[in-house]
Structure 1
Amino acid sequence: MHFKRHFLLSVAALSVGVLLSACNKPASEPAAAAPAAPAPAPAARVVTVGTDPTYAPFEFQNEKGEIVGFDIDVVRAAAQKAGLEVKFVSTPWEGAINALTQGDRDLLVSAITITDERKQSIDFTEPYFEASQLIAVSASSTATQLADLKKSKIGVQTSTTGEEVVVKLLGKTSSNIKRFESTPLALSELAAGGVDAVVADNGVISHYLANNPSAKFKALSDPSFAPEFYGLALKKGNTELQTLLNKGLADIKADGSYQKIYDQYFAPAAK
């Protein structure tokens, strides 16, 4: 009896030990999770930029029909700094501001002078270029300043500061003011003898004279011409885009990118 009882107790103890051993056995470790794939970078915001590509060297079309120029390079560089993508759309100057205010364009760049009158309907970034008016006349002209042209026919591009300067001299209704859709058209008329002078931004006049020596023009400055500053134009109240672009412009000026673009289009003497 005792032997049987001892045997049964031993078997029971052994069974408990096996059970405890099984309970204490560490569970198999889970397989390591595969590293998560990096999330795709968010797509950059695309900004539609209206520009009138008839204003070399600021904006014009190359032989491939692409819109290029100083303004284009500046906007593209500033937008990249701001994390934006830009899409340039040819936009005639006469309807450009209306396209902006209606929301058909997010931004305008077209050698646009910042003026108090324009600020009433649109906003601007900080200035990115300093300019002034310049007069183009025939090389044989005896004029030396704007006042010498009071009895002359003067070509201007419609709705520009060049037109404003000539209106002050001749009067808004003067028949001697000849208005054109673009400055190159006005300069072509000067070459044909249809006008005696053209008043436009200095960068455009200088570029035309340098690239059309056969036209036999000369450029005249005038002490009455005040400095002008170009800005990127935005819809009134678009402060988010304005802030981004202001930062982008500041960044390209700080890192030398702006100067490289400038030197590509303008002679050092023009600085």
Structure 2
Amino acid sequence: MNFMPKLAAIAGVFLISLGSAQAQNRELVVGSSATYRPFAYESPTKEIVGYDVDIIQAVAQKAGLKIKIVNTPWTGIFASLNNGDVDLVISGVTINDKRKQSYDFTAPYFEARQLIAVPKDSTVKGLKDLAGKKIGVVNGSTGDDIASREFGKTSPDIRRFESTPVVISELANNGLDAAIGDNGVIAFRAQEHKQLKTVNDASFPKEYFGIVVKQGNKDLLAKLNKGLAAVKADGSYARIYKKWFQADAPVLPAQ
């Protein structure tokens, strides 16, 4: 009896199984643009840190995934996902219908909206109270759009800057009466200046950030969603949110 064909078949099955196991255990590359404090930025020792970093590390641990976070410029981050340089992206990416046509998103891990920063003694309660006041925004941002729609694009009261840190610095030095910007960045920057506070206008629409994978990568998506659900359930998400934003975490939708 010739055992060679059977041995060859058994060896083939073993190699396929081994290859599958190695594929499952391989280190996944996470793309994140480390220029968006406090979500992801480089520490003085060049380590990538931030809210997004803490979230993906917690999710990966719960999901049993090995990951390596790579600083990936925002301008090329989706191309890196498309060509396989990275396996997933976490970089403050807003979930919207246009992006969902090309990529798959996990359940939300962050509730994004616009936020107003003002001096602590300000009586401002919302956007309409900013009429006639000097408002700082980042040029071309959502905050710029909101202020322009409410007060007119050419309003002399709207002061445009190149970055949120500059806007907040101007506000802290009494050069502005208010600032409008992304809630995560505004809240983080405002807490660095004890003379400032933040004001939420309920009319500002909510948006959500999600972790991004290639469209059709259902296996990885399911693992990430399972890990994310576990992080939300055991209190890790709330602790990470509190660490970076000094506030209680909002309740996020399941999907």
Residue equivalent to 1:11: none
Equivalent of 2:138, from 145, 156, 169? 156
- Structure 2 residue aligned with 1:264: 243
Aligned to 2:15: none
CA contact (8 A) 2:30 2:68 kept: yes
Structure 1 CA distance for aligned equivalents of residues 126 and 147 of structure 2: 12
CA offset at residue 250 of structure 1?
Answer: 1.5
Residues 1-271 of structure 1 aligned to structure 2 (within 5 Å): 42=22, 43-56=25-38, 58-101=39-82, 103-138=84-119, 143-149=124-130, 152-156=134-138, 161-166=142-147, 168-169=149-150, 176=158, 178=160, 180=162, 182-191=163-172, 197-213=178-194, 216-267=195-246, 269=248, 271=250
Give aligned-pair identity as a percent.
45
- Structure 2 alignment gaps of length 5 or more: 1-17, 251-255
Relative to structure 1, the CA distance from residue 172 to residue 54 in structure 2 (aligned partners, 3 Å threshold; closer, same or farther) is same
From the CA coordinates, give the structure whose radius of gyration is larger. Answer: 1
**Aligned equivalents of 2:139 and 2:224: distance in 1?**
28
- Does structure 2 conserve the Cα–Cα contact (< 8 Å) formed by 1:53 and 1:67? no
The equivalent residue for 1:12 is: none
TM-score between the two structures when normalised by the length of structure 2? 0.69
* Gap change, CA 1:217 and 1:52, over 3 Å in 2: same
Q: Could you say what secondary structure the match of 2:118 adopts?
A: strand
CA distance 1:113–1:198, change in 2 (3 Å):
farther
Contact preservation (8 Å) 1:47, 1:84: no
Aligned equivalents of 1:108, 1:205: Cα separation in 2: 23
CA distance in 2, matches of 1:137, 1:264: 22
Whole-angstrom CA distance in 1 between matches of 2:240 and 2:96: 25
Q: Which amino acid aligns with 1:239?
A: K
Once the 2 structures are TM-superposed, how far is the Cα of residue 262 of structure 1 from its aligned partner? Answer: 3.2
Once the 2 structures are TM-superposed, how far is the Cα of residue 208 of structure 1 from its aligned partner? 1.7
Number of residue pairs the alignment of both structures matches? 228
Seen in structure 2, the aligned counterparts of structure 1 residues 156 and 150 have a Cα distance that, compared at 3 Å, is farther
Kindly tell me: are residues 165 and 79 of structure 1, through their superposed partners in 2, closer, same or farther at Cα, counting changes over 3 Å? farther
Shift of the 186–268 alpha-carbon distance from structure 1 to 2, 3 Å rule, reads: closer
Change (3 A) 1:211 1:154: closer
The answer (yes or no) to whether the contact 2:242–2:249 under 8 Å persists in 1 is: no
The answer for unaligned runs of 5 or more in structure 1 is 1-38
- Supply the AA of the counterpart residue of 1:126: A
Cα separation, 2, equivalents of 1:96 and 1:185 = 26
Contact 1:52 1:90 in 2 (8 A): yes
Whole-angstrom distance in 2 between the partners of 1:154 and 1:87: 37
Give the secondary structure class of the aligned counterpart of 2:191.
helix
* Deviates most, 78-87 or 67-76: 78-87
- Two-structure CA RMSD over aligned residues (Å): 3.6
Q: Distance in 1 between matches of 2:211 and 2:143?
A: 19
- After superposition, what is the alpha-carbon deviation per residue over 1:122-145, rounded to whole angstroms, capped at 9, x for unaligned? 331111223432112345766542
- CA shift in 2, pair 1:251/1:140, >3 Å: closer
